[in-house]
Amino acid sequence: MLVPASRTELRLALPLATVLLGLSACGGLRTLDNPIGSGKSAAANSEAALYLDAVRSLMAQGQFYAALAHIQEDRRAHGDSPELRLLEADARRNLGQTREAEVLYKGLLTGSQAGSAKHGMGRLYASRDLPTAIRYLREASALRPTDVDVRNDLGYALMQAGRYNEAKPELATAAELAPNEAKARNNLIILLILMRDEAAVRRVADKAGVDAGALARLRSQAQSLKQTPISPQSGSRQTTSRTGGAG
């Protein structure tokens, strides 16, 4: 026969039930937000994301040595990640540390950062081997078809190689994806000048509000690009300029 609990027993049981319920709720939250074996906590992920943002900000300002220092600190605090290795590769490429950058990029050619790594390889080879650069940039474009920088760099590399008809859709796509960005638009105008399509030059320039002085500078850049000699080894134009073109 069941014996009714005394009032004292009930008073003891209620707090215990509350504690157990609280533990159960905490366990449920952990299962959703940070399952066992899932890796970093939400707080650690948030802190790591702040480090990545700081690194990107430094790189946008051209402070690549400072960026490398923050990458080292982030790696010490939170461990390595594909995002960190990509940022390190980009920083080292911009510092002229091509060998170190290439090793890092090649380690990322498969996986979550493959498109960005192929883009980096394309930029790395743009000043010394245009066919190889174009191959990597095409692969990057296939993985990141709406990335304005990839499209622009591919189009510019094709233009440097004298492959104007192939360059046009790439630069036109970049210009349409980012109509307010001058670089892709200016590169498209340079290409149209090289293709002697004056009607298109005027149309693009007028639509973008490019004044006579700016257009004259773009014509000068087009002439310089046209006069760049073709490399007999690679079948492409010899150049020491970085991929990207007019700003």
Please give the pLDDT value at position 237: 52
pLDDT tens-digit series, residues 134-146: 999 999 999 999 9
For residues 126 and 213, is the Cβ–Cβ distance under 8 A?
Answer: no
Q: Does the structural domain 109-247 have CATH classification 1.25.40.10?
A: yes
- How far, in Å, CA of 212 to CA of 41, rounded? 56
Decide if pLDDT at 6 tops 80.
Answer: no
- What pLDDT shows up at residue 47? 78
Domain boundaries, the chain: 47-104, 109-247
What the block records as the tokens of 184 is 């892709």
* Lowest model confidence (mean pLDDT) among 10-14, 123-127, 164-168, 209-213: 10-14
Banded model confidence at residue 26, pLDDT cuts 50, 70, 90: very low
Written in H, E and C, the secondary structure of 12-42 is HHHHHHHHHHHHHHHHHHHHHHCCCCCCCCH
What ranges in the chain are assigned the alpha helix state H?
7-33, 42-60, 64-78, 82-94, 98-106, 114-125, 130-143, 148-160, 164-177, 182-194, 198-208, 212-227
pLDDT at residue 46, as a whole number = 79
- For residue 40, the one-letter residue type is K
Bigger pLDDT: 242 vs 20: 242
User: Quick check: 38 pLDDT over 90?
Assistant: no
Q: What is the pLDDT of residue 34?
A: 35
pLDDT in tens, 164-203: 999 999 999 999 999 999 999 999 999 999 999 999 999 9
Who's near 160: CB < 8 A, 6+ residues apart? 126, 130, 225, 228, 236, 237, 239, 241
pTM summary value:
0.76
Residue of higher predicted confidence among 235 and 168: 168
pLDDT of residue 231: 54
Supply the mean pLDDT for the chain. 82
